[in-house]
């Protein structure tokens, strides 16, 4: 090995050793709807960096800073925060672990921090834990969609009609309805009341489209509010004034 090559290798090792990863691993207490800044930086030249949330969605920081991702942007101060991102309005889908990966020449620096869900404790009274979420199944009376939502929000400041945006959540909830509530239909927290044909949950996240969520042929313009229909638990658009059982969720724990 030549002296020149040895010097280059030693310089590279030294540079990597001096790389300073600037990342705060502390848990983040945040409520849905709030703005959140996730800081991440490094005192060394880097190739690129990405963020990945708990659900596996990956955000290339260059794209975030260029305004490609709606609701995400670059921080105002990028000093030692070159890989930082700002989420303008946190939704339930954003809670959980966020991981920053900074790719250098020769290695990758990785740091994770937990947003919101790290404060999870036992479910509030009357709520049951299904998977990692707390739900309340109201069976004692029938209410319209709006009245059901008001009831949920009156239980605790952290509750609203349920946001069901993942297949495993849907399966867990409907299995519970079958076992304990005779597979009857229930209101959940989705509607297109804001704009006809554009379905959103109460936390402003989009309602998934197509299978396996919606009943075949739906939404069918039968109504503007979302229920889990009997007997199979598919999403169904229904008249918001109809009264039925409903499912509440602790949106932030």
- Quick check: 77 pLDDT over 90? yes
pLDDT in tens, 119-164: 445 688 889 988 878 999 999 999 999 999 999 999 987 899 999 9
Same-domain check for residues 113 and 133: no
State which residues form the domain around 136: 121-250
pLDDT at 220 > cutoff 50: yes
Alpha-helical segments (H) within 27-71: 61-65
Are residue 91 and residue 171 in the same domain, yes or no?
A: no
**Global pTM value:** 0.56
Asked whether residue 8 is domain-assigned, the answer is: no
The number of folded domains in the chain is: 2
Query: CATH number for the domain including 149?
Result: 3.10.100.10
State the CATH number of the domain containing residue 29: 2.60.40.10
Q: CA 178 to CA 124: how far, in whole Å?
A: 23
Q: How many CB atoms lie within 10 A of CB 216?
A: 8
Which of 65, 84, 118 marks a domain boundary?
118
pLDDT at position 93 is 75
C-alpha span between 21 and 237 (Å, rounded)? 49
Report pLDDT digits (tens) over 202-215: 999 999 988 889 99
């Amino acid at each position: 090995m030549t002296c020149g090559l040895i010097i280059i290798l030693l310089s590279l090792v030294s540079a990597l050793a001096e790389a300073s990863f600037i990342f705060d691993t502390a848990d983040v207490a945040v409520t849905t709807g709030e703005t959140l800044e996730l800081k991440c930086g490094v005192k060394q030249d880097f190739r690129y960096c990405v963020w990945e949330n708990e659900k596996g969605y990956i955000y290339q920081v260059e794209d975030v800073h260029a305004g490609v991702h709606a609701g995400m942007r670059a921080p105002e101060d990028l000093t030692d925060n070159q890989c930082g991102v700002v989420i303008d309005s946190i939704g339930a889908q954003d809670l959980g672990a966020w991981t920053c990966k900074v790719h250098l020449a020769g290695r990758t620096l990785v740091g994770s921090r937990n947003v919101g869900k790290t404060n999870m404790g036992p479910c509030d009274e009357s709520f049951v834990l299904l998977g990692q979420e707390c739900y309340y199944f109201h069976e004692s009376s029938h209410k319209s969609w709006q009245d059901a939502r008001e009831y949920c929000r009156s239980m605790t400041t952290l509750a609203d009609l349920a946001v069901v945006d993942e297949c495993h959540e849907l399966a867990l909830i409907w299995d519970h309805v079958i076992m304990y509530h005779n597979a009857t239909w229930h209101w959940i927290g989705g509607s297109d009341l804001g704009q006809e044909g554009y379905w959103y949950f109460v936390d402003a996240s989009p309602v998934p489209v197509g299978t396996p969520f919606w009943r075949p042929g739906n939404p069918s313009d039968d109504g503007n509010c979302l229920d889990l229909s009997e007997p199979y638990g598919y999403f169904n658009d229904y008249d918001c004034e109809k009264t039925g059982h409903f499912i509440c969720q602790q949106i932030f724990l």
